[in-house]
């Protein structure tokens, strides 16, 4: 039997680091160094609630509805005490989920987003990834 | 881009006394996954390892019958139960076979988590987890919260089974659980009278699938009516007929699984956290 067990992907985080209050750095096994504003990560939270919120907000903005209660198109979210007290852009912890993702616990208590390694690479805000993304967007235009 | 895997991340379960945790999975039901899990577990035990067997098929647990164990009084029984020198846990110990478990996903998640974390598995070399078919709640719970060493995919040779085996395999790859390889069950039949080999469900599907997906092919297990008879009698063929051809194949499978698990653990480094 020549082949060994197969593991998906050829990159995984080897180090995580907070940079001040605002940023997270991830050093990957393939040498890439990702940086993220915490705010950016929260705004791209992949949990079902946040995805739904983004879709609703976008469609409301597109239809010109920007305030809650206008025609019943925007639902009112229930906010718990932790969300009021803590900052939604401050991470309390970043812990592995299985072998494929990270869970971020935010200061406002939100903790349902599972950030897969693939998603984290897509969200990378380092200068190389930003220019690549800008170049791709130009191509789309 | 791959499909997002939804659901809140469960608490990480730590099994400090367990060296290797192996998931036995299939995309499709009826391929003999529980038979493979049970006989592989017995083969590992016969090689001198300390083995646990967790039946994670909450809706259709078949491990109790295959090991000759029935329902017990949960107030009196001490879990895990012991049979053939192995520690065993199954939903089938708690619910009589004639009663259906009609649960939504979160209950399945809770049951599998409790079987892992609330049961005293003690010191084990291998914990073999017999998964239900498919890519649902039990699979997600295990891959997100249990320290899985790797997964073994069971299939039969025909295309209808291979299609789903690929899906099961892709799920493990997506969540980066190492796939130890594919096992082809019900691979061929040797006529006990003339010794001729018949490939009843076609030939080589499992091996082709393994090649195509770039994972090891762990072996082909023949059809032997004794396997089914022994399963119904509650004594797996590896225990009842240890020198049979099927038992030999299971021992070869166990050797490959041991080597693959050791290789994974050597390479493994824990993920960093903040």
Per-residue pLDDT of chain A (141 residues; tens, 9 = 90+): 434 555 455 789 999 999 988 999 999 999 999 999 999 999 999 998 898 888 877 766 666 655 544 454 555 666 666 566 667 889 999 999 988 999 999 999 999 999 999 999 999 999 888 877 777 766 554
pLDDT digit string, tens, across residues A37-48: 999 999 999 998
Smallest CA–CA separation between A130 and chain B, in Å? Answer: 19
Could you say which of A13, A17, A114 has the minimum Cβ distance to residue B271?
A: A13
Q: Does B271 touch chain A (CB under 8 A)?
A: yes
| Residues of chain B found within 8 Å of residue A13, distances taken between Cβ atoms | 271-272
What is the share, in percent, of chain A residues with pLDDT greater than 90? Answer: 48
Average pLDDT over residues B92-103: 85
Written as six digits, the tokens of B196 are: 């001729």
Mean pLDDT computed over B119-137 = 90
Is pLDDT larger for residue A64 or for residue B212?
B212
Chain A residues within 8 angstroms (CB to CB) of chain B: 1, 3-9, 12-18, 24, 46-48, 51, 91, 93-101, 103, 111-112, 114, 116-119
Q: Does pLDDT of B175 surpass 60?
A: yes
Contact A16 B274 (CB under 8 A): yes
Task: Tell me the C-alpha distance between B22 and A3, whole Å.
Answer: 18
| In contact, B124 and B52? CB cutoff 8 Å | yes
Minimum-distance CB partner of B214 among A6, A94, A97 = A6
Mean per-residue pLDDT for B26-31? 83
For residue B217, give both structure tokens.
């092919």
pLDDT digits (tens, 9 = 90+) for B180-207: 999 999 888 888 888 888 888 777 888 8
Please determine, for residue B125, whether its predicted confidence score (pLDDT) is greater than 90: yes
pLDDT of residue B6: 53
Global pTM reads 0.81
CATH number of B18-266: 3.40.50.300
pLDDT at B149: 93
Nearest CB to A4 within list B9, B263, B270:
B263
Question: Do the interacting molecules here have an ipTM over 0.85?
Answer: no
Give the domain ranges of chain B: 18-266
Q: Do A4 and B177 touch (CB under 8 A)?
A: no
Q: Which of A24, A51, A118 minimises the CB distance to B2?
A: A118
pLDDT computed for residue A101 by the predictor: 94
Contact B126, B259 (CB under 8 A): no
Confidence of residue B51 (pLDDT cuts 50, 70, 90): very high
A99 closest CB neighbour out of B176, B217, B260: B176
Nearest to B102 by CA among B73, B60, B134: B60
Name the more confident of B10 and A110: A110
Contact B5 A18 (CB under 8 A): no
Whose CA is closest to B134, among B41, B33, B206? B33
CB contact under 8 A, A100 and B143: yes
Which 3-state string (H, E, C) describes B226-261? Answer: HHHHHHHHCCCHHHHCCCCHHHHHHHHHHHHHHHHH
pLDDT band at B261 (very low <50, low <70, confident <90, very high): very high
Residue found under tokens 């295959």:
B66
Q: C-alpha B44: how far from its chain's center?
A: 13
Q: How large is the average pLDDT for residues B90-114?
A: 86
Q: In the structure encoding, which two tokens stand for residue B123, read together?
A: 């010191």
The larger pLDDT score, comparing residue B137 to residue B21, is at B21
Q: What percent of chain B has pLDDT over 70?
A: 96
pLDDT reading at B213 higher than 70? yes
Residues of A in contact with B258 (CB under 8 A): none
Residues of B in contact with A94 (CB under 8 A): 273-274
Domains of chain A with CATH codes: 13-62+86-134 (3.30.2020.30)
Q: Output the pLDDT for position B253.
A: 96
- Chain B residue with CA closest to A2: the answer is B216
**Closest approach of chain B CAs to the CA of A6, in angstroms?**
5
Is B110 a residue whose pLDDT tops 50?
yes
DSSP notation for A69-107:
TSTT-SPPPP--HHHHHS-TT-EEEEEEETTTEEEEEET
Specify which of A20-24, B7-11, B229-233 reaches the highest per-range mean pLDDT.
A20-24
pLDDT at B14: 77
- Of the candidate ranges A118-127, B123-132, B145-154, B201-210, the one whose mean pLDDT is the lowest: B201-210
Average pLDDT over chain B reads: 87
């Amino acid at each position: 039997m020549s082949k060994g067990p197969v593991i998906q992907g050829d990159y995984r985080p080897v180090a995580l680091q907070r940079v001040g209050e605002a940023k997270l750095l991830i050093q990957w096994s393939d040498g890439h160094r990702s940086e993220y504003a915490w705010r950016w990560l929260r705004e791209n939270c992949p949990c079902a609630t946040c995805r739904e919120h983004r879709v609703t907000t976008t469609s409301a903005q597109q239809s010109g509805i920007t305030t809650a209660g206008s025609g019943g198109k925007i639902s009112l979210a229930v906010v718990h005490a932790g969300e009021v007290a803590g900052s939604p852009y401050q991470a309390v912890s970043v812990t592995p989920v299985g072998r494929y993702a990270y869970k971020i616990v935010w200061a406002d208590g939100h903790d349902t987003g599972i950030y897969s390694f693939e998603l984290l690479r897509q969200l990378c805000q380092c200068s190389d990834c930003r220019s690549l993304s800008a170049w791709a967007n130009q191509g789309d235009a | 881009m791959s499909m997002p895997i939804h659901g809140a991340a469960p608490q990480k379960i730590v099994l400090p006394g367990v060296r290797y945790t192996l998931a036995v999975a299939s995309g499709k039901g009826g391929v003999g996954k529980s038979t493979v899990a049970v006989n592989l577990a017995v083969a590992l035990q016969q090689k001198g390892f300390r083995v646990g067997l967790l039946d994670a098929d909450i809706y259709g647990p078949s491990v109790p019958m295959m090991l000759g164990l029935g329902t017990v009084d949960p107030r009196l029984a001490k879990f895990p139960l012991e049979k053939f020198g192995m520690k065993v846990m199954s939903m089938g110990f708690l619910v009589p076979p004639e009663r259906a478990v009609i649960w939504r996903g979160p209950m399945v998640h809770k049951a599998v988590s409790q079987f892992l974390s609330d049961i005293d598995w003690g010191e084990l070399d291998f914990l073999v987890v017999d998964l239900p078919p498919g890519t649902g709640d039990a699979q997600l719970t295990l891959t997100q919260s249990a320290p899985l060493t790797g997964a073994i995919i069971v299939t039969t040779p025909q295309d209808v089974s291979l299609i789903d085996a690929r899906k099961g395999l892709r799920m493990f790859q997506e969540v980066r659980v190492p796939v130890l390889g594919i096992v082809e069950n019900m691979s061929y039949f040797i006529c006990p009278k003339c010794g001729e080999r018949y490939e009843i469900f076609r030939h080589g599907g499992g091996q082709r699938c393994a090649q195509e997906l770039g994972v090891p092919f762990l072996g082909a297990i023949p059809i032997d009516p004794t396997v089914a008879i022994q399963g119904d009698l509650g004594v797996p063929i590896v225990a009842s007929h240890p020198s049979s051809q099927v038992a030999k194949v299971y021992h070869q499978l166990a050797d490959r699984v041991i080597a693959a698990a050791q290789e994974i653990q050597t390479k493994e480094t824990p993920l960093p956290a903040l």
